[in-house]
Chains A and B, each alone.
Chain A
Amino acid sequence: GIQVEQSPPDLILQEGANSTLRCNFSDSVNNLQWFHQNPWGQLINLFYIPSGTKQNGRLSATTVATERYSLLYISSSQTTDSGVYFCAVSNQAGTALIFGKGTTLSVSS
């Protein structure tokens, strides 16, 4: 099956810093999503981005499908950005999402 690897596993930042999170996947996909799980456990859908670049405020994401990776950029990080960021891709049948193990981000003031 498709493998999803995320890096780095952990990231510690000071407020105001920028960061880049990476997601590699082992096969071609037609659905890639980024999620943020906040410290209370709630999962928020950040981007649906099978290819190209999207921006939403301080967050942006780029997927290069031909090279099988996606990047999530967080600029001017805030303490509320803390949590776990997951990348997920569809399985071949399109019936399920396969999640990476996540990047745990801690932003301190």
Chain B
Amino acid sequence: NAGVMQNPRHLVRRRGQEARLRCSPMKGHSHVYWYRQLPEEGLKFMVYLQKENIIDESGMPKERFSAEFPKEGPSILRIQQVVRGDSAAYFCASSLDSPGYTFGSGTRLTVV
């Protein structure tokens, strides 16, 4: 079992570009969660998805951020027109059924 796979591990984008972060959950897991960790801070919840459905997006910024978890393929967190404040580590987690999270290794986004 390969665990939760996130790619890329590191992503550098210029201000105004788009960032696409991918997350493949553990085999058999149908729940996916995205969290953001700013430097020197704890993790903040962004969004919870099940296949083809957004269950809770209360932590997502209202603009520029979107997430999907299609029937086939990985979950995608998309950030449009990135700004310097978007620089952070983005973690994905999956679960078979709450609780029992398994986190991926994260994507470190740097906006220059």
Q: A interface vs B, CB < 8 Å?
A: 31, 33, 35, 41-45, 48, 86, 88, 90-91, 93-102
Contacts and interface: CB of A to CB of B under 8 A. Distances in A.
Interface string B97-108: 011111101101
Contacts of B91: 43
Contact of A101 (B42, B102, B103, B105): B42
A35 B93 CA distance: 13
Contacts of B55: 95
A31 B98 contact: yes
Interface in B32-56: 33, 35, 41-45, 48, 55-56
B42 A96 contact: no
B21 interface: no
B42 A100 contact: yes
B103 A97 contact: no
Contacts of A86: 42-43
A96 B48 contact: yes
Interface centre among A33, A41, A43, A88 (most CB of B within 10 A): A43
Contacts, number: 54
Contacts of B42: 86, 99-102
B30 to A, nearest CB: 14
B89 interface: yes
Nearest to A95: B56
Interface in B73-112: 89, 91, 98-103, 105-106, 108
A33 to B, nearest CB: 7
Contact of A99 (B43, B89, B98, B106): B43
Given A41-B105, A43-B91, A102-B42, A96 B59 contact: yes
Q: Which 4 A-B pairs have the closest CB atoms?
A: A95-B56, A96-B45, A99-B42, A43-B103
A91 B58 CA distance: 11
A72 to B, nearest CB: 15
Contacts of B35: 97, 99
